[in-house]
Homo-oligomer: A and B are copies of this chain.
Amino acid sequence: MGQVMAQGLGACPQFSLVALVDLHEPAELFGARYVAALDGLDPASVDAVVDFSNPEGVVSSARWCAAHGVALVVGATGLTDEQRQAVEEAGAKVGVVMASNFAIGAVLSERFAAIAAPYFERAEIIELHHDRKVDAPSGTSIAAARAIAAARAKAGQAPLEDPSTRQTLPGARGADGADGVRIHSVRLPGLVAHQEILFGGPGEGLTIRHDSFDRESFVQGVALALAAVDATPRFLDGIDSLL
C-alpha cells in the first residue's frame, strides 16, 4: 500500500514526495529518500506524513507528528480504543485526518445511503469480497448499516423489523448490521471488494453499488485529506466532510 500511495501521490503536481519510511528499503523509491523510521527525518523538511502501516506504527507516527508540528493522514483499521485516542490527541497539536476507507466511491455510497434511507421502507446490504478476507461482515458495510439506521432514527422512523419470514435454513436472512438493516457477506475467489446498498419501497428499488478494483482508488481520497491538513490543530474522522 505504501508503494501505491508513493506512486500515486508522487504523480500529483501539488505534492512533493520527501521520503519513504519503512523497516526495509522498498524496491522503488519514486525519486524520494528512504528512511527506516520517522526519527531519521528532519521535521522541517516535511509538511505532512501519510501512514498506512499498522496500529502500532500509526500511534508512533501520531506522537512524532504531534511533537514536531507535522500534519498527519492515517489510513487505519483495527485500532483499539486506546490507540484511536492516541491519534485523536495528536489532533490537538496538528492537523490529523484518520479514515478507514479513502475510496471516494465508498465515502459517497455511505453519504447517499444516509440521504436515501428515510424515503424507503427497508434497506439491506450485500458486500462481496475475495475469499481471503479474514472477517465478515466488512467494516465498511457495518458503517453503512449504522449510517442508514441513524438517518432513519433522525427522521423519527422506528428500527426495521424483519418481515415475518420463516427461515428454513439458519443464516439465510444474513446478519443484523444495525437496527434491522441486514448485511449479506459473499466470499468468492476472483472478487476484489464490492458493496451494494439496496433500498426498496412500493414498486421501486434503489441500489448504490461500489466496486474497488485496485488500491489506487485510495489515492484521490488521501490527496483530498492532505490538501485539508496543515499544522493547525484539527482532528477529522473520515473524509466525508471534505467532499
Contact = CB atoms under 8 A, between A and B. Distances in A.
Interface string A111-155: 110011001111110101001111111000010000000000000
A217 B203 contact: yes
B165 A134 contact: yes
Interface stretch (A32-40, A50-58, A69-77, A178-186): A178-186
B173 A136 contact: yes
Given A172-B137, A204-B210, A188 B119 contact: no
Interface stretch (A15-23, A92-100, A102-110): A102-110
Interface residues of A, number: 78
A104 B106 CA distance: 22
A166 to B, nearest CB: 5
Question: By CB atoms of chain B within 10 A, which of A173, A189, A204, A210 has the most?
Answer: A204
Interface stretch (A82-90, A190-198, A226-234): A190-198
A211 interface: yes
A202 interface: yes
A47 interface: no
A136 B170 CA distance: 9
Interface of A: 8, 103-106, 108-109, 111-112, 115-116, 119-124, 126, 128, 131-137, 142, 162-177, 182-192, 198-220, 243
